[in-house]
Amino acid sequence: MGLFILLFIFALCVVIGMPVAFALGVAAVSAFFYEGLPMMIAFQRIISGISIFALMAIPFFIFAGELMFHGGIAMRLVRFASSAVGSMRGGLGIVNVFSSMLFGGISGSAIADISALGSILIPVMKEKGYDDDYAVNVTVTSSLAGIIIPPSHNMILYAVAAGSGLSISKLFLAGFVPGVLMCLCLATVAYLVAVKRGYTSEIFPGFIVLFQHFIFALPGLMTAVIIVGGVLSGIFTVTESGAFGTIYAFIVTIVVYRALTWEKFKTAVVNSVRTTAMVMILIACTGAFAYLLTYYQVPTKMSEFLLGISDNPVIILLMINLMLLLLGMIMDMAALILICTPIFLPIAISIGLDPYQFGMILLINLGLGLCTPPVGSCLFVGCAVGGVKIEDAVRTIWPFYIAILVALMLVCFIPAISLTLPNLLG
């Protein structure tokens, strides 16, 4: 009965429009009252959930992404990507994908990717004769690169939720190849759809212009090199690299690009504080909620349920994927990472999956949920930026869903995609 109260109150709070973080907290406190457990335990779990040093890297990553969004780095990355691949058929769609790969690898946020690149590329694509839905679909789905390609604060959340001493630097390494693979799949679909619709290509500007745009974009690209390289080399901890990367981004946007005005800086600070507060409250409330899931033996019961259906690892993995996809369609990604990791990670390990490989599977699944209704935040933001109705975008987005699912299946059944770099360099 206690588990029913926990889940029912949580679902009720979400349905009436309460933010997910508060819904988790209200449900957890209600279950504590019902079970007669000391409220001190609930508050201890809430506080301990955010008393983790590695979490300090999250506000730095968020602030660095905001600085780069408002400081002109996104525009220079778009110019570089356009001069490199814009001459292909339907080139602006491919430019969109590779711009997301470059910027997502710096900002670490899908929403930041859509906000920054979508506001630049979607109007340009419309002006060049691309259909509105195509422009939005490419932008929305390619934004998932920010979740997979490091640095990604979602990987930090996964490492914290796993609670098994996972190395964040190895998680960063594990995300490179799956992220690039997913972008290649999306670029292929963007090209095929462009050919089918008869879109034209841009004129190649020449290698001199390409080199110039690369030089202009290089200071921004170095942000990711500093953040990820500092962690992998052991020079910085994850938190220290986030702080140093933020300082570097601040210097680049002011001294090198001179595009960060006082008003833009204030906007970046406000947005960063708001996003960080949301994430931290979510982590804190999830601590109490996850404690109750363990108290009610949900991970054990879920494992017994899946293993009772089949003992075939392939079937179990496909069922886990299906559950994650369905959950990703109706809940916030950060909350799902914190809730689902303790439940599904032990099952994944029991069928022979490496924790780092499962981390990539989890992130791709939940990332796809950001692009799907009814609660697809990336889809909503992309449609708002592009001025397209959600139903019009969803009607033609399915080829891009297939591209992401192909990448997901490859990551699921070819462990080397996720594990080669961590094993070689980690």
pLDDT digits (tens, 9 = 90+) for 179-191: 999 999 999 999 8
pLDDT band at 106 (very low <50, low <70, confident <90, very high): low
- Mean pLDDT score of the chain: 82
H-type alpha helices, 198-332: 207-233, 238-251, 262-295, 298-309, 313-328
Kindly list the distances between the CA atom of residue 249 and the CA atoms of 231, 242, 327, in Å, as whole numbers in the listed order: 17, 10, 35
Q: What is the pLDDT of residue 189?
A: 92
Q: Which residue has the higher pLDDT, 22 or 110?
A: 22
Q: What pLDDT, on a 0 to 100 scale, did the predictor assign at position 296?
A: 80
pLDDT, average across residues 144-170: 82
Confidence of residue 305 (pLDDT cuts 50, 70, 90): confident
Count of helix runs (H) and strand runs (E) in the chain: 23, 0
Say which residue the tokens 């001069």 belong to. Answer: 83
By the 8 A CB rule, do 277 and 80 touch? Answer: no
Which DSSP symbol is given to 90? T
The predicted structure's pLDDT at residue 275: 78
Tell which residue, 263, 231, 262, 260, has the closest CA to residue 244. Answer: 231
Q: Distance between the two ends of the chain, CA-based, in angstroms?
A: 45
The CB density around residue 55, as the number of other CB atoms within 10 Å, is 21
Least confident of 26-35, 46-55, 245-254: 46-55
- pLDDT over 90 at 364, yes or no: yes
**Residue 375 — pLDDT band, cuts 50, 70, 90?**
low
Residue whose entry in the numeric block shows the structure tokens 């204030």: 266
Task: Give the dihedral of Cα atoms 242, 243, 245, 251; nearest 10 deg.
Answer: 160
- Asked if the bond preceding 342 is cis, omega within 30° of 0, the reply is no
**Confidence (pLDDT) at 403:** 94
Cβ-contact 359, 155 below 8 angstroms: yes
* pLDDT for 298 beyond 70: yes
For the chain, what percent of residues have pLDDT higher than 90?
Answer: 11
Distance CA 88, CA 250 (A): 34
> What is the structure's pLDDT at 185?
93
Burial (CB count within 10 angstroms: exposed 0-12, middle 13-18, buried 19+), residue 406: middle
Amino acid 164: pLDDT: 66
Other Cβ atoms within 10 Å of 294 Cβ, number: 12
- CB count within 10 Å of CB 410 equals 16
Only one residue has tokens 């004129």, namely: 203
Q: How confident is the model at residue 354 (pLDDT cuts 50, 70, 90)?
A: very high
The residue written with tokens 């953040």 in the block is 227
Average pLDDT over residues 347-363: 91
Q: Is the pLDDT of residue 422 over 80?
A: yes
Kindly state the DSSP code that residue 386 receives in the 8-state scheme. H
Residues 6+ apart with CB under 8 A from 103: 68, 73, 74, 77, 112, 113, 116, 117, 146
Entry pTM: 0.84
Say if residues 90 and 201 touch (Cβ distance below 8 Å).
yes
- Mean pLDDT value across residues 334-349: 85
The confidence score (pLDDT) of residue 107 equals 60
* Alpha-carbon 309 to chain mean position: 31
Distance of CA 97 to the CA centre of its chain: 15
Annotate 62-86 with b (16+ C-beta within 10 A) or e (fewer). bbbbbbbbbbbbbbbbbbbbbbbbb
